[in-house]
Amino acid sequence: MYRGQAGQWSWLFHRVSGLAVLIFLLIHIVDITLIGFGPTVYNDALKVFSTAPFRIFTLALIGALLYHAFNGTRIILVDFWPSGYKFQRQMFYIVMVVTILCSVGAAVFILAPIFGACPQHGYCSAANF
């Protein structure tokens, strides 16, 4: 087992999260194309994305995207900031913490309707929480 520590795991998570987001993107392009078939078809398809299993999937996806974005910034800093390499491990810890914090924040909005919160609209947005 290669013991690459932070660098190894950050690379692996970056690759896995990137692939996950890419696969979703390809599916997403197809489902948005449905809007070309008119409002009934599109709004029906949209109802599927508001169900509980899809909300959990959405949260996982957003977590992957957040990690990929934050770790990507870490990579850019290591590449273009001459002293960056000295702090790569600390930056990795920051990336993990910020990713988890932002994911928990997103989870509040995305998962709340499953538990019956915001019954007026059926969803919780920043405007009507």
Partner 1 sequence: MATQATPPLPTAAKVTSYGILARPGAGSSGWETFSWYFFRISGVGLIFLALIHVFLMHIANDVSATNYDYIAARYANPFWRVYDLLLLTLALLHGLNGLRIVGDDYIRSRGIRLVVQSVLFFVAVTFWLMGTMTIITFQPGHTLAQSVLGFLQH
Residues that bind partner 1 (CB under 8 A): 15, 18-19, 21-22, 25-26, 29-30, 32-33, 35-39, 42-43, 46-47, 49-50, 58, 62, 65-66, 69, 72-73, 75-76, 79-80, 106, 109-110, 113, 121-127
Report in angstroms how near the CB of residue 43 gets to partner 1 at its nearest: 5
Cα dihedral sign, 72-54-43-124:
negative
Report in angstroms how near the CB of residue 20 gets to partner 1 at its nearest: 10
- State which residue, 5 or 50, has the beta carbon closest to partner 1: 50
Report in angstroms how near the CB of residue 29 gets to partner 1 at its nearest: 5
Task: Judge contact between 14 and 25, C-beta under 8 A.
Answer: no
Nearest partner of 31 among 57, 66, 4, 60, judged by Cα? 57
- What is the CA 13 to chain-centroid distance, rounded? 13
- State which residue, 1 or 127, has the beta carbon closest to partner 1: 127
Report how far residue 37's alpha carbon sits from residue 108's, in angstroms, rounded to the nearest whole number. Answer: 33
Report in angstroms how near the CB of residue 36 gets to partner 1 at its nearest: 3
118: left (phi over 0), alpha (psi -120 to 50) or beta: left
